[in-house]
Amino acid sequence: MVSETETSAIGNALVVLGAAGIVIPAFARFRISPVIGFILVGLLVGPSGLGALAIDYPWLKHVTIASTEDIALFGEFGIILLLFSIGLELSFRRLWQLRKLVFGIGAAELFIAGAILGTALLFLGNLSTAAAYGLGIALALSSTALVLPIAGTKTAVGRASFSMLLFEDLALVPIIFVLAALSPAASGDSAELLLTTLWQGALVVAALAIGGWFLLPRIFAQAARAKDPELFLAASLLVVIVAALATAAVGLSPIVGALLAGLMIAETEYHGEVEAITAPFKGLALGVFLISVGMGLNLKTIASQWPALVMAVVGVVLVKALVTAALLRFSGAVRRGTAAEVGLLMASPSETTLIVLTTALQAQLISRSTAEFWQLVTAIGLTITPLLARVGHDIARRIEMRTGDTQSDETPESRTVIVGFGRVGHTVAELLREHGRPYVAVDADIDTVAAARRDGFSVRFADVARPGSLDKLGIENAQAIVLTMDDPVQQLRMTRQLRQKYPDLPIISRARDADHAGALYQAGASDAVPETLESSLQLAEAVLIDLGVAMGPVIASIHDVRAKMRHDIMAKGKLEHEPRIRRTRRPAAGSETA
């Protein structure tokens, strides 16, 4: 027999999954951020929505969630998965490059905004000094779970946002311990407990980093040789769980462990594959967290206190936006438009604000009514984060247009992408390297990748048959892409997909014979080189030279024959003219004149 508790848990899981299945495609269809959709779903099915009617209408129990505690665990797991996926997009090298932003601007933003908000609360509210400044620090935190999925980590906005968010995540544990130490019932052991947690946490983080450096490449290499995506997924989840449990065991947040797990995998050859496999879970994890936020909204309380709530939300947003934008701008870290965009994007409170509020309540620094009020402020702030992001983007664009400051903060890497590193891909890479042209190659055989990297070639592990794998290589900035795989069906499918997504990208593909080359041209290839054609031309060239014909006339005649045969192949592929891409090909920076 299935117990009532198990039935409720299964029902809650089905409600969450059903909401994700409806919200994501529906809001994507209307180009609206699914963030708002998930929060509205949480409000609808939560205890202050249809869940309140479940007593009178028992059938509603199957499509509602009766209590926020019923989904709290799902929300926490969702945040852990989100931080893991964020870590996958980073590396320790990038973190070192961002150290000034993290410990400089990140620290300044948190403490200055917290001090301003705390001072305002001290004068406007009936709070003690400890409660006011503790609440100010809580409200100064920004949402990692929402900001980074919106901004990413590779743009100027995303880089600045991530730097400040990273410091906030690191500061969360000390903040919680300090609030606990300020409790009227706190003992003198709190400071000692804080120091113990910090040194134990540092030891665990170091142990995880060293262990990951030795073990992860070997674990994922075995999964790669098995060519089983489920093994990659299982290994990834195992790493996340172990890291989160290890950091939680010493008093740190599991979020720190999840982020560290992503960083460790990002340092391996397999980060792109893991990122592609776990990508579907990222949207679901975010959805679960946002549904739990929506369930925390109480419409009756909002209706009765809406003037105070509006003033509180506006005040928090204004203070944080102005402080963040001013720090970024006056430090010279980013352009004016970027500073304004980051300021508004980071202006709302955070999911971690709810954790700090709970700690302050348990420490008896604030009353339950005060905690509930600011929890509503936080939930409303999270709800409007996508709107603030849109407003910030529009303001940034107007600032750039008015000042003429349109130069990008980023210089995207432009290079040739080689798919497949067999004998053909190896030869192409060798010639590109000899002529000083940047490139990156990918292959689905980990032993081939390892051997090529030992020989000094820039090769990564990726299974291009899996959706999303190529997107991690920066195809949008590529000079060209070379397809050298020996699977003709896969080549045709990939050529067609690439041409649809990147109309101006030069696509050069290896072909088996003339018929295959014609099909590739029809699919959108810029050049298709049949192996049979080139082998016959090389054979003819060798014969003519051995017969004593001069090298110049031989090369000229080979060139003419190649051009004629290529024209015939294109005609067979029903292409009357050369593909448009050959006339719009983007020259490489510093390219030589032919």
Domain ranges (residues) in the chain = 4-403, 416-582
Rounded Cα distance, 508 and 523, in Å: 12
CATH superfamily of domain region 416-582: NAD(P)-binding Rossmann-like Domain (3.40.50.720)
The verdict on pTM exceeding 0.75 is no
Of 11, 263, 228, give the one whose Cα is nearest residue 153. Answer: 263
Q: What is the pLDDT along the chain (594 residues), one digit of tens a residue?
A: 445 555 566 666 677 677 667 766 776 666 666 667 777 777 777 777 777 776 677 777 767 776 666 666 666 777 777 778 767 766 667 667 777 777 888 888 899 999 999 999 888 877 888 888 888 998 998 887 778 777 776 677 878 888 888 788 777 767 777 776 676 655 555 556 667 777 777 788 888 888 888 888 888 888 777 777 777 788 888 888 888 888 888 777 677 788 788 888 877 777 777 877 777 776 677 677 777 777 767 777 778 888 888 999 999 999 999 998 998 888 876 778 888 888 888 888 887 787 788 778 877 788 888 888 888 888 888 888 888 888 888 888 888 777 655 444 444 557 888 888 888 888 888 888 888 888 888 888 888 888 888 888 888 887 777 766 666 667 777 888 988 888 888 888 888 888 888 888 888 888 887 788 888 888 888 888 887 666 666 677 677 677 777 877 777 777 777 677 677 676 666 554 444 444 444 444 333 333
The count of other CB atoms within 10 Å of the CB of residue 129 is 11
Of 501, 502, 509, give the one whose Cα is nearest residue 526. Answer: 509
Rounded Cα distance, 388 and 397, in Å: 14
Q: Could you give the count of Cα atoms lying within 13 Å of 300 in the half-sphere of its Cβ?
A: 4
Rounded Cα distance, 93 and 263, in Å: 10
Please say whether the beta carbons of 444 and 464 come within 8 A: yes
> Read out DSSP for 291-304?
HHHHHT--HHHHHH
In the CATH hierarchy, which fold is given to the domain comprising 4-403? Na+/H+ antiporter like fold (1.20.1530)
Q: What is the model's pLDDT at position 153? A: 65
Please report, to the nearest 10 degrees, the dihedral formed by the alpha carbons of residues 99, 142, 392, 83 taken in order. 70
Block residue for tokens 């014969």: 543
> Read out DSSP for 15-34?
HHHHHHHHHHHHHHHTT--H
3-class SS letters over 129-168: HHHHHHHHHHHHCCCHHHHHHHHCCCCHHHHHHHHHHHHH
Block residue for tokens 């706190």: 186
Tokens of 93: 């090298």
Q: What is the model's pLDDT at position 40? A: 77
Please say whether the beta carbons of 486 and 511 come within 8 A: no
Tokens of 354: 């709810």
> Read out DSSP for 176-218?
HHHHHHTSTT--TTHHHHHHHHHHHHHHHHHHHHHHHHHHHHH
Tokens of 589: 């920076």
3-class SS letters over 447-464: HHHHHHHHCCCCEEECCC
Tokens of 211: 């262990």
Q: What is the model's pLDDT at position 119? A: 92
Asked whether the domain spanning 416-582 has the same topology as the one spanning 4-403, the reply is no
Q: What is the model's pLDDT at position 528? A: 82
Q: What is the model's pLDDT at position 587? A: 41
Rounded Cα distance, 556 and 576, in Å: 25
* Phi, psi values for residue 309, rounded to 5°: -65, -45
- Report which residue type is found at 241: I
SS3 category, 363: coil
